[in-house]
Structure 1
Amino acid sequence: MINELLYGAISAPLTTYSVLKIIGSDSAEYLQRQFTNDLSKISDREAQLSCRLDRSGRIYSFFYVGKHNGDFYIIIENALCENTISELNKFIIMEDVEVLVTESNATVVVGPSVEDNISEVHFKTKWADQDAFIIIDPKEVQYPEIDKETYRFAILSTAWPELGLTLNGDELVNETSLNKLAVDYKKGCFLGQETASKIESRRGAAKYPVLLESAKESKFIDNSIKKVWGSFSYENKYYTLASVSRDLQVEGKKLKSDDIELTVRNIPLVSSDKTQKAEDLFHKAIEEFHKKEEESALKLLDLAIQLDPGYADAYESKGAILGQLDRFKDAIEAMDELLKVDKNSVMAHTNKSLFYMKIGEIEKAEDEKSLATVASFQKLGEEAQVKKKIAEEEEKKAAELARRESMFKQVIEMDDRDAIANYGMADILFHRHEYDEAYKHLKIVLEENKKYSTAYALLGKSCEKIGKIDEALDVYKKGIEVASAQGDMMPANEMQSRLNQLSV
């Protein structure tokens, strides 16, 4: 059922949740002051995750807040409901706000194929990092109900906030996925903001959830592992969701446990982007085709097209497979669909010509052959336009590099040890493929500032280019240590990726 979650649509009754309704002319302004997320960013029939924090930035409660016809709904876990109602009522003084406890129940329908044809009160939102709708008192749900294994995968693979499964409910908000999902640091004041903002603007949380990937089950015990939440398997690999110290929050970092190698994976495990999912399905389809599993490949390609109706390669591959199965009329239809998304597709006309020839329609085959020739000339014209635009962009980039170079040179003339100016020069020289000169400037940068994370990344790449592979390895190792300690996760992740590739 995991495929239905990732590529189709399923339902999940929120049986351990309560539904509150907030009414009154002051409700929007009042709730905006109480919660961590920005209510002004949701439209009617939309919902967002939000939190109530204590003064020290720790989680007091978390929930969905939805807007419907001017009223607000809070969908909250039962265990957090009573205290949250009490907390909300405590601060209502003169405001026209009333918190109502309803008898309603809620169900979430989730997945890229979910359609917005819902008649009941509902909210568009995200659940387990997937597009979703929360329905209040659904009369009938058209999607299959999620099973326990898939539910566990959905929550753990995304570290989606759920009491007892991915958080305890008393952590600093920065230490949980709620920090990214339910907090808007630009919205204005809310309780606990001062502490949470300080942590966020400095080095980030000292611990945060990641996934530990392994080829077989492992009970990894280390001081850097602050909390293990749970495990699951996916595509013949095992994953453990764990809160880890800052130095382990690096995508691709390798760990050892009882002779088992673990690899750090950032959450979510599977991208929710429909285009990326369609590409993943396309590659799986090609693998199935090479295994002579043509029908399986066709199903995967249909799923890819459903997720990304403009995916030209999927239509072309579908037509080619159908042609190999001698289903020529179906193959021609696939090529017609390809032409709808790429009117100048040479392969569509070429394949149609071949397929018409196979079924004996010679005249149509010749017409398609002529159209393929026309399309090829049109493609050449388009490619010429693209090349011209690329050349223009390169000219603009060169002019900008020259401007920056002049500025950095002026600074270096005044102070040849200036770290920022030397890094700027190194960056320019690297992009001009002058790697030896970039290397010299970067050595100066790190002599002056040993915590310059991005300089380690650029120095490592410069070492690779000039053949100093051993030095590159040392630079990346040191750079990852420095960057992760400071919470600079982008250069840390980049260096870990390079280190992994060099270590193969």
Structure 2
Amino acid sequence: METITDISEEHHHVRETCGYFLLDDWCLAAASGQDTFTYLQTQTTNDVLALAVGSGLDNALTDRKARLLCSFSVHKNSETSALFLLEKNQRDALIQNLEAYHFREDITFDTRNVPDVLLALQGPKSPALLEALTGQAHRLTKPNDVLKLTIGDTEVWGFCKSLTGEEGYVLALPSAFKNQLIQKIEEVGEPYGIAAIGEEAREILRIEAGKLVYGKDMDKTHILPETGLEHSSVSYHKGCYTGQEVIARLKTYGSPAFALMGLVIEGATLPPYNAVIKIKNKKIGTIKSTTYSYSLGKNIALAYIQKDFRSPDQELEVTIGDQPFKVKTALLPFHQTHSRTERAEKLHQEALSFFKKEEDLEKPISLLREAIALDPKFAPGYEALGVMLSKQNKLDEAIALMKRLAEIDPQEIMAHTNLSIYYMQQGRIEDAELEKGEATAIQFEKLVEEGRIKREKKKQDKQDRVEQERQVGMFKQVLEIDPIDQIANFGLGTIYLDTQKYEEALAPLQTVVENFKDYSAAYLALGKTLEKLSQKEEAAEVYRKGIAAAAKKGDLMPLKDMQSRLNQILHSES
């Protein structure tokens, strides 16, 4: 493995290939007993009863005022046991708070008999590396999934966990296996561009990803909704827990005065930690973690910002401490990662470009191998690679490739079609005919299924139209009594939008945004309607107002949607 000493190179490895680092500041804890999940359900903010074995979720503990006591993830490793993954500085508080209301329930907490070494694999090639380490495909696919893995002769716990914004895993192992595992990672990981990642690069990656550290970016002085964790760590549909009333009330009726978001900072100077942000001597925020972002090429900060200034992309002239700064507000995370399929498609297009320009096939073949390693179900990559291998007369390898795709996705017609072609080129007529027949059978099955889906959709569309007509009539009756009723106007407008009656949708949606200026969903629906009517400038203005309203209220989902749509409009005009 190449030794990396430059922070920017370490950062690049995690963003583009793969890196590893020890999590000396993290730990595991465990809970077991017949009442494990029913008890945790009453104590924590998220819905642990919804977990299946092998899955997990982000979670938290709060006090009666919704102040954040602990932030962690829970992973269901059996029907009666769970593992907690968290920072070490929260472990004692987690156990103490869970024990505080533990009386007769059958649940035992344990911090000793758990693996004591945690190691993170992070980066787009970490899934392929983990499979190479274990020698088999694994089921760690969704965030917070948990699975016992075997590496060499040693069992380790694997958690699907991104700490950097990229795909990644945390491995929990006995300390006696640490050096051996690191050596194996470096040996097996060389083809995947593995690199050891230092503390500085790890911190940059963390902040770019908007990941918080307890005691630095959040603590028990913050109510949970201030931190943004409510979007991942809170269920609004489960039963009672300590702090639920405050969290639910904030979601329904407003947003916290200050909440976490990002700042992009002009200039070379980083503001000091915990410094107060002011505009004209009025406090509008507090700085938390700061760093230079290699992804953005600028200084960035996590900061708690007052709700009047939480609209993204606001350029502000502020004082931080006693120094003047120019900053721009930003949604978290700062770094938007690409999916496996997006990365594979980029490599695929790059390979095709080389293929068209050059006779040497080694470069495009290498790129395509990388693409299907990133996304094992990326069928276009298999097809292109098979074609190139066949051009090199490497038919056995091309056949093995198509067989692999057929195993991964038995319904992939192209795999069987290409197998038929390659067998024919080898003179294996009988095998070619069998694969041709398989491709034809799959095609027929797909046509039958598509026909069934179309019939069901037609039936459902008819039922939907009847229901929509009923709702339109009901909403109109309400509006005869109260012309500015929020629910009736919004409901009527969205039905007209969904049924492509855009002109009719305008009036009720405009009524909502004029009379209920904090109703962010109405701004989004009105903006979409104006876009459909090709009124781009008007839509952009509606989105700007809606973004401001959503930022004040903390409505993150419509805010992100409106920001994305506004950006698309602005880019199309430039």
TM-score interval w.r.t. the shorter chain? Answer: 0.7 to 0.9
Is 1:106 matched with 2:106? no
- Of residues 39, 61, 68, the one that matches 1:59 is 68
CA distance in 2, matches of 1:370, 1:45: 39
- Of residues 136, 149, 152, the one that matches 1:117 is 149
Q: Which moved further from structure 2: 487-496 or 333-342?
A: 333-342
Question: Following TM superposition, by how much is the alpha carbon of 1:289 offset from its aligned partner in structure 2, in angstroms?
Answer: 1.0
Q: Secondary structure at the match of 2:66?
A: coil
Q: Is the alpha carbon distance of 1:88 and 1:404 closer, same or farther for their aligned partners in structure 2, counting shifts above 3 Å?
A: closer
Report if aligned partners of 2:344, 2:378 keep a CA contact under 8 Å in 1: no
Provide the residue aligned with 2:172 in structure 1.
135
Provide the residue aligned with 2:389 in structure 1.
322
Is 1:167 matched with 2:167? no
Provide the residue aligned with 2:373 in structure 1.
303
Is 1:423 matched with 2:487? no
Provide the residue aligned with 1:240 in structure 2.
300
Unmatched tracts of structure 2, length 5 or more: 1-9, 131-137, 139-147, 187-195, 272-276, 318-324, 355-362
Is 1:471 matched with 2:471? no
CA distance in 1, matches of 2:444, 2:42: 61
Question: Following TM superposition, by how much is the alpha carbon of 1:254 offset from its aligned partner in structure 2, in angstroms?
Answer: 3.0
Q: Secondary structure at the match of 2:339?
A: helix
TM-score, reference length from structure 1: 0.75
Q: Which moved further from structure 2: 362-371 or 193-202?
A: 362-371
CA distance in 2, matches of 1:329, 1:208: 59
Q: Is the alpha carbon distance of 1:225 and 1:318 closer, same or farther for their aligned partners in structure 2, counting shifts above 3 Å?
A: farther
CA distance in 2, matches of 1:150, 1:435: 50
Q: Secondary structure at the match of 2:300?
A: strand
Cα deviation, 1:433-461, whole Å, max 9, x if unaligned, reads 32222223333334443443333222222
- Of residues 381, 395, 403, the one that matches 1:336 is 403
Give the residue type in structure 1 aligned to 2:342: D
TM-score, reference length from structure 2: 0.67
Q: Secondary structure at the match of 2:303?
A: strand
Q: Which moved further from structure 2: 53-62 or 20-29?
A: 20-29
Give the residue type in structure 2 aligned to 1:288: E
Q: Which moved further from structure 2: 392-401 or 183-192?
A: 183-192
Question: Following TM superposition, by how much is the alpha carbon of 1:140 offset from its aligned partner in structure 2, in angstroms?
Answer: 1.5
Q: Which moved further from structure 2: 203-212 or 400-409?
A: 203-212
CA distance in 2, matches of 1:370, 1:388: 29
Provide the residue aligned with 2:427 in structure 1.
361
Q: Is the alpha carbon distance of 1:325 and 1:265 closer, same or farther for their aligned partners in structure 2, counting shifts above 3 Å?
A: farther
Report if aligned partners of 2:472, 2:492 keep a CA contact under 8 Å in 1: yes
Give the residue type in structure 2 aligned to 1:243: A
Give the residue type in structure 1 aligned to 2:203: R
- Of residues 327, 341, 344, the one that matches 1:282 is 344
CA distance in 2, matches of 1:493, 1:380: 38
CA distance in 1, matches of 2:291, 2:232: 22
Unmatched tracts of structure 1, length 5 or more: none
Provide the residue aligned with 1:488 in structure 2.
555
Cα deviation, 1:23-45, whole Å, max 9, x if unaligned, reads 99999888776655566666889
In percent, how many aligned pairs have the same letter? 26
Report if aligned partners of 2:543, 2:563 keep a CA contact under 8 Å in 1: yes
1:23-102 superposed matches below 5 A: 36=45, 50-62=59-71, 77-80=87-90, 102=112
Report if aligned partners of 1:120, 1:138 keep a CA contact under 8 Å in 2: no
Question: Following TM superposition, by how much is the alpha carbon of 1:180 offset from its aligned partner in structure 2, in angstroms?
Answer: 4.3
Provide the residue aligned with 2:469 in structure 1.
402
Q: Is the alpha carbon distance of 1:171 and 1:286 closer, same or farther for their aligned partners in structure 2, counting shifts above 3 Å?
A: same
Q: Secondary structure at the match of 1:160?
A: coil
Provide the residue aligned with 1:254 in structure 2.
313
Cα deviation, 1:448-482, whole Å, max 9, x if unaligned, reads 43443333222222223333333222222222222
Q: Secondary structure at the match of 1:433?
A: coil
Q: Which moved further from structure 2: 330-339 or 42-51?
A: 42-51
Cα deviation, 1:38-65, whole Å, max 9, x if unaligned, reads 6666688987665454554333444566
1:192-271 superposed matches below 5 A: 192-211=243-262, 226-231=286-291, 233=293, 240-245=300-305, 246=307, 253-256=312-315, 264-267=330-333, 269=335
Question: Following TM superposition, by how much is the alpha carbon of 1:286 offset from its aligned partner in structure 2, in angstroms?
Answer: 1.9
Provide the residue aligned with 2:192 in structure 1.
none
Question: Following TM superposition, by how much is the alpha carbon of 1:269 offset from its aligned partner in structure 2, in angstroms?
Answer: 4.4
CA distance in 1, matches of 2:415, 2:55: 41
Q: Secondary structure at the match of 1:107?
A: strand
Report if aligned partners of 1:36, 1:50 keep a CA contact under 8 Å in 2: yes
Q: Is the alpha carbon distance of 1:302 and 1:238 closer, same or farther for their aligned partners in structure 2, counting shifts above 3 Å?
A: farther
